[in-house]
Homo-oligomer: A and B are copies of this chain.
Amino acid sequence: MSIQGIFPIDKWDFKSESILADLPVADFDRLMARKSEHVYKKGEILFREGGYPAGIYYIVEGKVKKYKTDKNSREQIIYVANTGELLGYHAILSEYRYPDSAATLEESTIAFIPKEDFLACLQQSAILNNRLLKTLSHEFAVLANSVTLFAQNSVRERLALQLIVLREKYKVNFEPGMAVEINMSRDDLASLAGTARENVVRVLSEFKEAGMVETKGRKIFITDIKKLIDLANAR
């Protein structure tokens, strides 16, 4: 789902192009022929940065964080993938190792597709080919935005933007005006905003003061998205 139209440009359109949508049934079936589906508990690791790729992963249902870990073992979340998204294809297409790690953010059902099946399908399906090119190009735009965000914006702005993006991913059965619950630890939010947990807590309570969010225990509710967007667009 897109947030186009809310932002001036769709600068923060983090919508996930579904790579497999509209794939001809034959192609889809070939791809999925030897898949193995598995339910992962929250926090389980699918693959690790630097590892050699054996195949790709399809999120049947759930959420996965893609992240990098630096030498101080501080984690940086690059992206939050949602139901319907594909994972791990970068490593296979670049003929190299996984550029990041992936771990479930909640209990998730995930299908594994062997590398050979993915490559075979890729060779035969022009549509899959084009979808990948399109998705990868879109990812470039999204990551370029991230670079600018981290290089030039304050923690406050970074967190605001990440909350806006997360809201899109966490809203289900949404009706206008409804608060969206974001189910993510302060630590993960910190990792997503590129800061320390303490700062997330402080900024979050600022946002609470300003009537943008509410919290109940660990739960975070986005109550006024418009205000958040204004803050993110300000300066």
Interface string of A138-169 (1 = CB under 8 A from B): 11110111111011100000000000000000
Asked if residues A94 and B141 are in contact (CB atoms below 8 Å), the reply is: yes
Indicate which residue in B96, B100, B152 contacts A144 across the interface (CB closer than 8 Å): B100
Copies in the complex: 2
Taking CB atoms, residues of chain B closer than 8 Å to A150 are 147, 150-151, 194
Nearest CB on B from A22, distance (A)? 14
B94-A134 in contact (CB<8A):
yes
How far apart sit A184 and B150, CA to CA, in the bound complex (Å)?
Answer: 23
* B70:A144 contact, CB within 8 angstroms: no
User: In the bound complex, how far is the Cα of B90 from the Cα of A132, in angstroms?
Assistant: 12
Cross-interface CB contact of A147 among B93, B129, B143, cutoff 8 Å: B143
A114 neighbours in B (Cβ, 8 Å): none
Stretch at the interface among A32-40, A71-79, A104-112: A71-79
Closest residue of chain B to A92, judged by CB? B137
Q: In the complex, what residues of B have CB within 8 A of residue A68's CB?
A: 144-145, 148
- A55: chain B residues at CB < 8 Å are none
A141 to B97: give the CA distance in the assembly, Å.
10
Which A residues fall within an 8 A CB radius of B? Answer: 9, 50, 68, 70-72, 74, 76, 78, 89-91, 93-96, 99-100, 129, 132-134, 136-141, 143-148, 150-152, 194, 233, 235
Top 7 A-B residue pairs of the complex, sorted by shortest distance between their CB atoms: A151-B194, A99-B141, A94-B137, A136-B136, A150-B150, A143-B143, A93-B137
